[in-house]
Each structure stands twice: as C-alpha cells, then as structure tokens.
Structure 1
Amino acid sequence: MQIDKLRGKELDDLFEGILKLESVEECHHFFDDLCTTNELVSLKQRFQVAKMIKEGHTYSKVQDKTGASSATVSRVKRCLDYGSEGYHAIIDRMDQK
C-alpha cells in the first residue's frame, strides 16, 4: 500500500477528524478549508472515474464524461483491480442506500 509510507499520528489525526464529520455540508466546509480547488477537482474526478469504471463504462466514455486523462483513468482502474479496496468499500456502501 502506498499510504504505508505516510502512516503515523498526523495522518491518523486527519482521518479521525474526517470520521467526525456529520453531514455533506460539514464536508463542504472542512474540505474547502483543507484543500485547494485543484486538489478537490482531482479528488472528485478520481472518485467519479472509479464509480463509472465499476459501472462498466468504457475508458473513452469515462474520459469524455469526467474530463480525466487516460493516465488518470488507468491509475484508478489499477487501484480498483490491485489496490487496497478503498474505492470498492465506499462505492459499495453508497450503492446499498
């Protein structure tokens, strides 16, 4: 896992803080303070790419709909296939609602 290099109290603090958020509106406020616009655009784009790939869309459809580069689509696909199951866990939970 690539995150292993970053593990520690500071990263745990960040994640524990995120887990304390209670609404989408609180997420908007927190991530607005935490991230730059470009960082948020990248995060939101990657997540949309992951959702579309899981839905079975082609790379070209994903690129057209999200504006993601082929490198981004390929990286997200690699994470879906060989990663830590993070995308799968969240998307599957969202689908259960």
Structure 2
Amino acid sequence: MLNNLNNVRKEKNVSLVDIADLLNVRYQTVADKINGKSSFKFTEALKIQEKFFPPNCQIKCNTFNLFLVIGLVNRSLAELPLPIDS
C-alpha cells in the first residue's frame, strides 16, 4: 500500500476521483494502484506530481519526489542509488 501518497493526497485534499480524472481511468483503478494491486506507470506518477504536488508546494517535496520514483513506479527501481537533496 502506498501510505505516503494516501497521506499526502488527504493532506492536500486531493480525492481519488481527482487522480482518476487526471489519468482518465476509473476510481477503482487508482484505488487498486494505491493499495498495491497494480503499479502506477512512470508517466502517471509524473502527471500526479505536476498537477497536485508541484515543486513549490508546502510538503516535503524531495521526499515525495523520491517516493514517486521508488514507490509508484516499478518496484525494481527501489534498488537504484538515487541522490537525495538535503
């Protein structure tokens, strides 16, 4: 389950329907992806970030950006060494 995404989207008042509308998929598809039944495509992760969590947002964007790459995209990316801005 993508708890990070769930927590951040609730904090920013972004509904699953909002994400589904952005990606042109069903609400249930987004719920399945957040619950780990399937994975977000990289392009979907980027769309979500650009629309709802832009770099100038008030959340910890560096952590969220890393989460997008590791958490939403193909799980094998988690093994790649990624730089983290401090």
Q: Name which one, 1 or 2, has greater alpha-carbon Rg.
A: 1
Q: Could you say which structure has the greater relative contact order, defined with CA pairs below 8 angstroms and 6 or more residues apart?
A: 2
Q: TM-score, normalised by structure 2?
A: 0.28
- Name the one with the larger helix percent: 1
**TM-score (norm: length of structure 1):** 0.26
